[in-house]
Chains A and B, each alone.
Chain A
Amino acid sequence: DTTVKQNPRYKLARVGKPVNLICSQTMNHDTMYWYQKKPNQAPKLLLFYYDKILNREADTFEKFQSSRPNNSFCSLYIGSAGLEYSAMYLCASSRGQISNERLFFGHGTKLSVL
């Protein structure tokens, strides 16, 4: 099974409210990633977990939190959603923490902030 699952598929949030997105994988991959994708833009890496170690990108450090309670699950948390958070959020996983490993993606969660 090479499936990465994301829930929910669509999420509507109000400005200022928190948002929690969930991702799971059953491939026993060491690394799980969260990307943000807006129309006509490149997927932007927000953060990744290698095992239990969280790495957050410098320019989004304060905007997103994450937790990984076990190898299979990873969440993305937005404490106070703003209009600029409207995007597709893609979760991915890979073996190891080296950049020559392919990524396996979920279908994504489309977040709309109103």
Chain B
Amino acid sequence: QQKVQQSPESLIVPEGGMASLNCTSSDRNVDYFWWYRQHSGKSPKMLMSIFSNGEKEEGRFTVHLNKASLHTSLHIRDSQPSDSALYLCAAGANYGNEKITFGAGTKLTIKP
């Protein structure tokens, strides 16, 4: 069964700093990666998706994907206290019975 590993488990970054989160899948059939963000007491919401090798930038958020190593990373520059949240990585694979598998998440805390 596919596993999605995230690191680190928790991360503290000073306000204005760069936060870097990592995610790797163990399944070579994986084609799609997402990053979801869950603020405390709220529902997870999709932050970014990446399906092709390379880099994708949206504002302060940049996501990288290396399909050969099944590794994706999320980078948040100029981190703000409002970025404090649980970040969940998800991977999708086409088995015919498609489903999306999540990692356990990285708890990010931005210190003012």
Contacts and interface: CB of A to CB of B under 8 A. Distances in A.
A102 B102 contact: no
Interface stretch (B56-64, B66-74, B93-101): B93-101
Interface residues on B, range: 20 to 34
A43 B102 CA distance: 6
Contacts of B45: 105
Please report whether the interface of chain A is mostly helix, strand, loop or mixed according to DSSP. loop
B43 A106 contact: yes
Interface string B71-112: 000000000000000001010111001111111110000000
Contact of B42 (A102, A103, A107): A107
B65 interface: no
Nearest to B91: A99
Contacts of B103: 42
A27 B43 CA distance: 17
The 7 closest A-B pairs by CB, nearest first: A99-B92, A99-B98, A105-B43, A42-B104, A102-B46, A43-B102, A42-B102
13 contacts: A40-B9, A42-B88, A43-B88, A98-B98, A99-B31, A99-B93, A99-B94, A99-B99, A100-B32, A102-B34, A102-B46, A103-B100, A107-B43
Interface of B: 4, 9, 31-32, 34, 36, 41-46, 49, 51, 88, 90, 92-94, 97-105
Interface of A: 4, 35, 40-43, 45, 48, 55, 90, 97-100, 102-103, 105-108
